[in-house]
């Protein structure tokens, strides 16, 4: 992007003047010069009647035919006059005077000059009028150029602020980029941005080349109140006490202070230093105050986004830790069932055999009861082994995800009597955490189908491609209303699956309607298994 204030070539209007016309204009200037002061007084009087401010009147006087007379009556180049017009045109634009009002003012001066020509030079009035019209055309052309450049600079400044908001990686970077943009816009030699921390009662300086010895906190309240409005700070004066960087005192003849206002009051200030005496103009002040408000709002939004992202990361870490605790607890329960309850159940048949042998004359009823007890114990052992497999699947840790999913589906098929199609191509190496998440998702899908769907057919497909692992589970069951299912407080199955998927940065989607079955689609990032990743080990 071009610089906001690169000096443009604004003498284009001079190129429109032929050598003959240049002679005519210099003749016009010589004729007009003796009457320029009288015309200027009349012109200013008319401007007062139009409600134009003194500083605007002074600038308008500098672009009239009378100003041309002063500059062109001698040997000064015509191009220099148009550069003078361009400078004052930009100043008028920054004084927030409408271009139409400037043209109207010039026409008012032309009428005064034409009347003077008719009174003083009646024989030459027509030629002088023609020359003045040609000169005025070039003046208006130059003014149009100047107004356009000012508006273009303002547009570029806001565009850069917008780009800074989009591209900045943090609040500090956003504020520093915004400050640099605004310093270029107002052509400042230095810029500082200060934020006030109300809790710590201290100032933070941004975009400083080195440490800044800021004002003591004891002055904070009074200083904040004084900086709540834009301040022009003259070098060497008492107002230098408002400079938040003490090293600026006596260094810059002019400084500007623009407040940063938030909902809680003054949040800080932007201060600009100039190596020459330079007072702001209305358009500059309007843009700076508006931009300061936008910058602060954008930085607050970015800070809140950063805080939210940090809190979300904390929640993700906590949830991930909870999943790890859950798996650890599953393994602990599995170990307890295996080592304690499982061993006790295996001893019970032996105890029953000993009881039966110790009573050779036992009745048929007793022997039948003992046989029934052995049968119940055997079924209990089978159930405990199923629970052990669900709680801590050894095949997942020993043989990997593909073998574990096949075993899970085979057991589901045999227990539930449901036709299951499993599409499971060869999977590449995956991190153990990803394998565990996918296994639990398939396990939860099978559990939900068994409990709720009344399905006859299920299709389970699992594949990896393009850095994603895709799991899709379809059934032809009774279906349900998805929104209502997630809204129910007891809907832990679907909610738990969605949370597991979110933890690893995946996408979870459920499609279902009553009587139309349901489809669960899951996409998970599938990075290659790190070489240094340790394998899970059974703790029981």
Residue 161 CB neighbour total at 10 angstroms: 20
The highest-confidence range among 283-287, 312-316, 435-439, 504-508, by mean pLDDT, is 283-287
Q: Which helix (H) or strand (E) holds 419?
A: strand 419-423
For the cut 50, the answer to whether the pLDDT of residue 9 exceeds it is: no
Helix (H, G, I), strand (E, B) or coil at 205: strand
Burial class (CB in 10 A: 0-12, 13-18, 19+), 335: middle
In this predicted model, what pLDDT tens digit does every residue of 239-248 receive, in sequence order? Answer: 898 998 888 9
Contact 302, 280 (CB under 8 A): no
For the cut 60, the answer to whether the pLDDT of residue 492 exceeds it is: no
Residue 536 confidence (pLDDT): 39
What ranges do the domains of the chain cover?
12-163, 169-280, 397-540
CATH of 169-280, picked from 1.10.1270.20, 3.40.50.300, 2.40.10.10, 3.30.450.40, is 3.30.450.40
Residue 131 confidence (pLDDT): 83
The terminus-to-terminus CA distance of the chain in angstroms comes to 66
In this predicted model, what pLDDT tens digit does every residue of 140-183 receive, in sequence order? Answer: 999 999 999 999 999 999 999 889 888 887 778 888 889 999 99
Residue 316 confidence (pLDDT): 65
Q: Which residues contact 470 (CB under 8 A, 6 or more apart)?
A: 461, 462, 463, 464, 521, 522, 523, 524
Q: What is the 3-state secondary structure (H, E, C) of 261-326?
A: EECCEEEEEEEEEECCCCCCCHHHHHHHHHHHHHHHHHHHHHHHHHHHHHHHHHHHHHHHHHHHHH
Residue 284 confidence (pLDDT): 93
What would be the CATH architecture of the domain defined by 397-540? 2-Layer Sandwich (3.30)
- DSSP bridge partners of 271: 192, 257
Average pLDDT over residues 8-21: 55
The strand ranges marked E within 98-249 are: 190-197, 202-206, 231-234
Residue 18 confidence (pLDDT): 62
What would be the CATH architecture of the domain defined by 12-163? Orthogonal Bundle (1.10)
The highest-confidence range among 158-162, 345-349, 383-387, by mean pLDDT, is 158-162
The share of the chain scoring above pLDDT 90, in percent, equals 23
Average pLDDT over residues 102-112: 90
Q: Which helix (H) or strand (E) holds 399?
A: helix 394-399
Q: Kindly indicate the confidence band of residue 268, based on its pLDDT and cuts at 50, 70 and 90.
A: confident
């Amino acid at each position: 992007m071009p610089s906001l204030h690169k000096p443009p070539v604004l003498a284009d209007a001079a190129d429109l003047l032929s050598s003959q016309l240049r002679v005519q204009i210099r003749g016009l200037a010589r004729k007009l010069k003796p009457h320029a002061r009288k015309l200027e007084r009349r012109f200013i009087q008319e401007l007062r009647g139009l409600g134009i401010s003194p500083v605007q009147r002074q600038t308008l006087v500098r672009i009239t035919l009378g100003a041309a007379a002063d500059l062109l009556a001698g040997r000064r180049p015509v191009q220099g006059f148009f550069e003078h017009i361009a400078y004052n045109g930009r100043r008028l634009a920054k004084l927030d005077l409408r271009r139409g009002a400037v043209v109207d003012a010039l026409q008012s001066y032309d009428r005064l000059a034409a009347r003077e020509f008719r009174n003083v030079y009646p024989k030459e009035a027509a030629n002088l009028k023609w020359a003045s019209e040609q000169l005025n055309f070039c003046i208006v052309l130059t003014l149009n150029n100047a107004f356009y450049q000012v508006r273009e600079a303002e547009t570029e400044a806001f565009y850069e602020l917008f780009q800074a908001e989009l591209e900045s990686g943090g609040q500090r970077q956003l504020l520093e980029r915004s400050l640099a943009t605004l310093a270029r816009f107002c052509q400042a030699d230095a810029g500082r941005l200060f934020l006030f921390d109300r809790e710590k009662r201290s100032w933070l300086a941004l975009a400083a080349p080195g440490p800044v010895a800021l004002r003591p906190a004891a002055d904070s309240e009074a200083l904040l109140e004084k900086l709540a409005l834009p301040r022009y700070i003259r070098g060497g004066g008492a107002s230098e006490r408002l400079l938040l960087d003490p090293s600026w005192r006596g260094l810059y003849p002019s400084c500007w202070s623009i407040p940063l206002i938030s909902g809680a009051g003054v949040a800080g200030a932007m201060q600009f230093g100039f190596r020459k005496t330079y007072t702001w103009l209305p358009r500059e002040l309007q843009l700076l105050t508006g931009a300061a408000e936008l910058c602060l709002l954008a930085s607050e939004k970015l800070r809140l986004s950063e805080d939210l992202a940090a809190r979300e990361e904390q929640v993700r870490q906590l949830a991930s830790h909870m999943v790890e605790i859950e798996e650890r607890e599953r393994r602990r329960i599995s170990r307890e069932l295996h080592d304690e309850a499982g061993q006790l159940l295996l001893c019970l048949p032996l105890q029953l055999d000993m009881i039966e042998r110790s009573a050779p004359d036992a009745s048929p009823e007793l022997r039948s009861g003992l046989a029934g007890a052995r049968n119940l114990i055997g079924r209990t052992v089978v159930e405990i082994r199923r629970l052990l497999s669900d709680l801590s699947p050894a095949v997942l840790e020993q043989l990997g995800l593909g073998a574990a999913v096949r075993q899970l589906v085979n057991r589901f098929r045999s227990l539930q009597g449901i036709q299951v199609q499993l599409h499971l191509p060869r999977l590449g190496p995956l991190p153990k955490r990803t394998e565990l998440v996918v296994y639990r998702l398939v396990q939860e899908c099978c559990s939900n189908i068994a409990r709720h769907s009344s399905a006859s057919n299920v299709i389970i497909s699992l594949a990896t491609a393009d850095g994603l692992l895709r799991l899709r589970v379809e059934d032809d069951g009774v279906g349900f209303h998805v929104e209502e299912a997630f809204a129910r407080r007891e809907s832990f199955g679907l909610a738990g699956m969605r949370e597991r998927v979110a933890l690893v940065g995946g996408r979870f989607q459920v499609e279902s309607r009553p009587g139309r079955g349901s489809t669960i689609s899951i996409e998970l990032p599938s990075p290659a298994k790190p070489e240094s990743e340790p394998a899970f080990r059974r703790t029981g």
